[in-house]
Structure 1
Amino acid sequence: MGDSAISRIDSTLAGDDFGWSVTLVGEDQSDKLATLAQHLDDGHSTTGDGKRVPSGYSYWGIGPTIAWFNASNDPTYMVIKVGTEMFRRQWRTLSPLVTDECVHLVSLGVGTGAKDGMFLEAMRRAHPQMLYVPVDMSAEMLRTGSRRAVRDAHFPLDRSLGLQIDLSLDGNLEELQLVLDRLVGDEPILFSLVGNTVANFDDDLSFLSGLARVLRPQDRMLVEFATTEDLTSSAVRAAEAEYRQTRGFVEFVASAVRYNTDLRIDLDQIRFAGAVRDESILLKVFWQNASGEELRMLIPGSRPIHLPPDDTIRLYTTRKYTTERIDRLVTEAGLRTTHVQRERFRHTQRPSPFGLELRLVAHDESAPTTLPAFDVWK
C-alpha cells in the first residue's frame, strides 16, 4: 500500500495501551437518521403495524448501546443469562467442526461481544493467523462489543478490523463481499449470526437469503434461533411474559425513540402482542399513545410527526421458531444444514416449550436462485 496512512497503522498502534479500535465506517450517519425518521412517520396504526423502529436501529447510537448492555447484564433477564450458558455448551460441541473448516471470523452483529470472545478463543488456537471482522450497523455497538471480545480472548488488536454497515441493504452486502475478498482471498470464513438476530427482521427470509448469497462454497455460517416446541395460546402468552417481566429489556426497546426523538415514552404504555404466524410465535413490542390527545414528535432535521390517540410505534420484533419453520427458512434461503445443536430452557419451575438452536449452515449450490446473485466471487 506504499506510504499511506493505512500502511502506518500497525506501527502507530504497537505498544499503545490507549484502547484504540480500528473500524471502517461505511455509511453516512445523517442518512441513517433520515431513514429512521421516514419509518417513524409511516402511517397510523393501533396494532404496531405503522410507525416503527426498523431492525438494527434498535441498537443504533450510544444510548441504545448502553441500554442493551444494561439489559444483557440484568440478572432478571433470564433469556440472556441462561441462553449464554446454553450457547457455551452448544459451541463447545460444534467448535472442533468449525475450526477444522474455517480460518477467519466475520461476526454479523457483534452484540455484547461475549459470544465473539468464545469464537476467537477457540479459533485462534487452531489458526493463529486468523482475522476478526466484526460487522454492525451501530458504530458504538461495534466498538463496545468487539473490544470486549478481543479483551476476553486476549486477541491481538492488529488482527481485528470492524466494519460499520447495515446488512439489510443489498448494496452493502456486495461491498462486504469485495472487502472480504481483498482481506482473506480464498481462505474459508466462519460467519456468525447469533442472538436470534434473524428473528428481529420483518422479512426474516429475505434477510437470511441476502446473507446466504455472501457465502462461498468453502465458508460456513453459524446461526442461532430461539425455538418453541408448541404454538398454543399459553405458549404465546408465555413468550409475551418472558420479555415483559424484565425492566432492563423494556428500557432497551424504548431507547431508540428516547434517544433520537423528543417523545417522552412512559414504559407503562409499551405493549407486548404475540401471535402465531408461519409456524412460529411472532412477538411485536410497541408503544401506544394512551394520553387521549394528539402528541407531536420531533426528530433532528425532520418535520414534526403527529401521533393521534391510540397511535403506535413498533419498537421491536422477534420470533420463536418451530424446528419445522427453521428447516424451511434455511432451505428457502439457499442454505443447507451441516450440524445442529438444540437445547430447551431449564431455568423455570414449570415446563417451558422454549429453547435455543445453533445451526452450522453452508451455501447450497443445488438450490434454485430466486434473488439476483452477486457475482463477485464467481
Structure 2
Amino acid sequence: MSIIKTRATTDRVVVESFLGGGDHRTLADDVLDGLTRPFKELPPKHFYDSVGAELFDRICELPEYYPTRCEREILATRSGEIASLTGAGELVELGSGTAAKTALLLAAMHDAGTLERYVPIDVTESMVRASATRLVEEFDGLRVHGIVGDFERHLDRVPPSVDRVPRIVAFLGGTIGNFTPGSRRRFLRTLARLLGPDDFLLIGTDLVKDPKIIEAAYDDSAGVTAAFNRNVLNVVNRELDADFVPESFDHVAFFDRDREWIEMRLRAQRPQRVTVGRLGLRLTFAAGEELRTEISAKFTRERIEGDLAAAGLELVDQLTDQDGLFALNLARPGT
C-alpha cells in the first residue's frame, strides 16, 4: 500500500492520504457484490456524497433524531470526567468528520493540561484539513496528524502515540451499530490492537428503547431521511452510469425486535429493470422487492460488554444522556 500524498500544512499539522490506486473498496465493487445477491443490499458508507452529507446534517437537527443530540449532551457534561479518568494526551478519532463534537473532549483534555495530539481519520481530505486548521488555532500546542483513508482498511497507518502518552481511540456516532455482530467483534479486535496498556477506547452506542422512538428517528415526518436513503441511488447513477429512478422506490425503516436493530430499505413500487452501464450489469426488481441500505444495531449494557470482552477489552464506565437514550462506553484492555 503506497502513500498517495503526504503534506505538512504547517509545523503543527501533517495530513497523509492513503486513498487511491485500488487501496480501498470501491462503489463498483459493492454494487457488483451487493446488488447481485438474492437479497440485495448496499453498505451505508455510500450515502455520504456531498448531497447525502448535507441531508444527514439536516437529519441531525430534526426533533425525531436523538442520537447526535444525546451524544453531544454526554460530551458536554462528562468530557471532564473522561479526561481526568484517562489522563489521555492524544485522541485518535475514526470517522472524524468536522470534529464538532470531538472538540468538546479536546477542550477537556486541554483544560486538564494533557492534550498533545489529535489524529483524525476520515475519507474526505478537505474536511480533515479544515478541522485540523481550526483546532490548532483553537488549542495552543496541539498537533494534528490527519489520516485520509477508510477506517476499516487504514488503521495500520495510525502513528504510534507521542512519547507513549495515554491515548483515547474514539469511535462516535453509534457507527459501530452498522456492523453485523460477527463483523462488529472482528472490528473491535482490530481497534484493540491500537491500544497500549494505558490506553482507552471510547465508543458511542445507541441504546435499546421503545421501538417507536427508534423508528421515528429513521423515518421522520419531514421526509428528510427518505430523501437521504433514496439519494444512494443517485450516487450509483452518477458514478456508475446507472438508470435507477429513485422516486420509484419507497423508503422503509423498521425495528427488528428479535435482532434489536433498525433496518433501512428501499422498496420497489413496481417491477423495474435497471442497467448499471459502467459494470455492464442488468438488474431486475419485482414489485415490492427491497434493497437494504443500512442496519443500525441498538445495545444493552450486556451486549456491549460481551462484544468488548470478545475483543479482549473491559468496560470501565458507561455514560448516558439524561433520558438514557444513548451511551458513550469507555473501555480499556482487559487485565
Return the TM-score normalized by structure 2: 0.82
Q: Which residue among 199, 204, 209 is the counterpart of 1:219?
A: 199
Match of residue 234 from structure 2: 258
1:355 aligns with 2:325: yes
Letter of the structure 1 residue corresponding to residue 268 of structure 2: N
Alignment CA distance shift 1:344-1:257 (3 Å):
farther
Contact 2:109/2:115, CA 8 A, preserved across alignment: no
Q: Please give the root-mean-square deviation of Cα atoms over the aligned residues, in Å.
A: 3.1
Structure 2 spans left out of the alignment, 5+ residues: none
Contact 1:58/1:316, CA 8 A, preserved across alignment: no
Residues 104-253 of structure 1: matches in 2 within 5 Å?
A: 104-127=90-113, 130-136=116-122, 138-139=123-124, 143-144=126-127, 147-148=130-131, 151=134, 154-155=138-139, 159-169=143-153, 172-173=154-155, 175-176=156-157, 179-181=158-160, 184-202=162-180, 203-228=183-208, 235-245=210-220, 247-253=223-229
Alignment CA distance shift 1:66-1:222 (3 Å):
same
Residues 1-378 of structure 1: matches in 2 within 5 Å?
A: 9-10=9-10, 23-28=15-20, 31-44=25-38, 50-59=39-48, 61-75=49-63, 77-98=65-86, 100=87, 102-127=88-113, 130-136=116-122, 138-139=123-124, 143-144=126-127, 147-148=130-131, 151=134, 154-155=138-139, 159-169=143-153, 172-173=154-155, 175-176=156-157, 179-181=158-160, 184-202=162-180, 203-228=183-208, 235-245=210-220, 247-261=223-237, 262=242, 263-266=244-247, 269-277=250-258, 281-291=260-270, 293-298=271-276, 301-309=278-286, 310-345=288-323, 355-365=325-335
- Cα distance in 2 for residues equivalent to 1:271 and 1:157: 48
Letter of the structure 2 residue corresponding to residue 270 of structure 1: H
Query: By percentage of residues, which structure has more strand?
Result: 2
- Cα distance in 2 for residues equivalent to 1:336 and 1:193: 16
Paired residue total = 319
Structure 1 spans left out of the alignment, 5+ residues: 15-20, 45-49, 230-234, 346-353, 366-378
Question: Which digits, 9 at most, give the CA deviation of each residue in 1:108-156, with x for residues without a partner?
Answer: 11144221111221223334761111112x31xx643773576378146
- Cα distance in 1 for residues equivalent to 2:44 and 2:140: 31
Question: Which digits, 9 at most, give the CA deviation of each residue in 1:306-344, with x for residues without a partner?
Answer: 132133221111022122212211211211122222335
Contact 1:77/1:248, CA 8 A, preserved across alignment: no
Return the TM-score normalized by structure 1: 0.73
- Cα distance in 1 for residues equivalent to 2:320 and 2:145: 32
- Cα distance in 1 for residues equivalent to 2:198 and 2:151: 21
Question: Which digits, 9 at most, give the CA deviation of each residue in 1:213-269, with x for residues without a partner?
Answer: 22121211111111125xxxxx33442223212533333333333223242323860
Contact 1:51/1:312, CA 8 A, preserved across alignment: yes
- Cα distance in 1 for residues equivalent to 2:129 and 2:175: 17
Alignment CA distance shift 1:23-1:51 (3 Å):
farther
